Structure formats: structure tokens, C-alpha cells
Amino acid sequence: MADIKIRKADGTWSVRAGGAVLAESKNALELNEPGYGDVIYFPRDDIAMAFLDETDHTSHCPHKGDASYFSIVTKSQTLENVGWSYEAPKDGVARIKDHIAFMPGDYLTVEQL
């Protein structure tokens, strides 16, 4: 297993898209996987799930398991497959269950407040 570390992310984190705050959490988790940038995972309870549509897209990570994806619908556009979640993560990363991570880009920000 890769040397993946998960810890509580410091402070308050937010996700914004289309001018709206989609998530704000003091309980986010920071996942560090060697060879990749740190990824912030937000508890589902702190996400405005009404903005997210689960898609048919999936991927597999040998260290974390199978990921399901979400698109975000804003007033002006749909951001395809920008959120992902491990519904049944492997034992070593079980803490990210019931959390969703987001891919920052031109139309979506993940930032510490």
C-alpha cells in the first residue's frame, strides 16, 4: 500500500462554483498520497448535495478503491465529474468514507478560508 496519510485539515475549507458556496467545513480531511498533490475531502454533511449529480463515471485506485463521480450544476454550466467519493474505501483510508473531494479548476475553487 502506498504511504497515504490522512489528517484533519487545519481551519475552515470551502468549495465554490458558479458564484455559489457548495461546501464549507471545519471537519475536512487532508489526504497526502506520494506523487500527488494534497487532496481535501469534505464530509457530505457539509456539502450542498442538491448541486451535485452523481454520474456513471467511475475510476479505480489500487490504494483507495473504486471512486464514483459527481457533476456540479451551476446557473450557467455543468462541471462534469469534478467531485469524487470512495463509497467503500480500502481499510487503510477508511476515514474518507462519506466524504467528497473536488478537482479545482477555472470554474471551481477549493480553498482554506
Domain of residue 39, CATH code: 2.170.150.40
Is the confidence at residue 2, as pLDDT, over 80? no
Query: What pLDDT is attached to residue 1?
Result: 53
Helix ranges, the chain (H): none
Count up the domains in the chain and report the number: 1
CA–chain centroid gap for 24, Å, is 12
Domain that holds residue 29: 5-112
Query: What pLDDT is attached to residue 19?
Result: 85
* Segment 37-88, tens digit of pLDDT: 999 999 999 999 999 999 999 999 999 999 999 999 988 899 999 999 999 9
Total-model pTM: 0.95
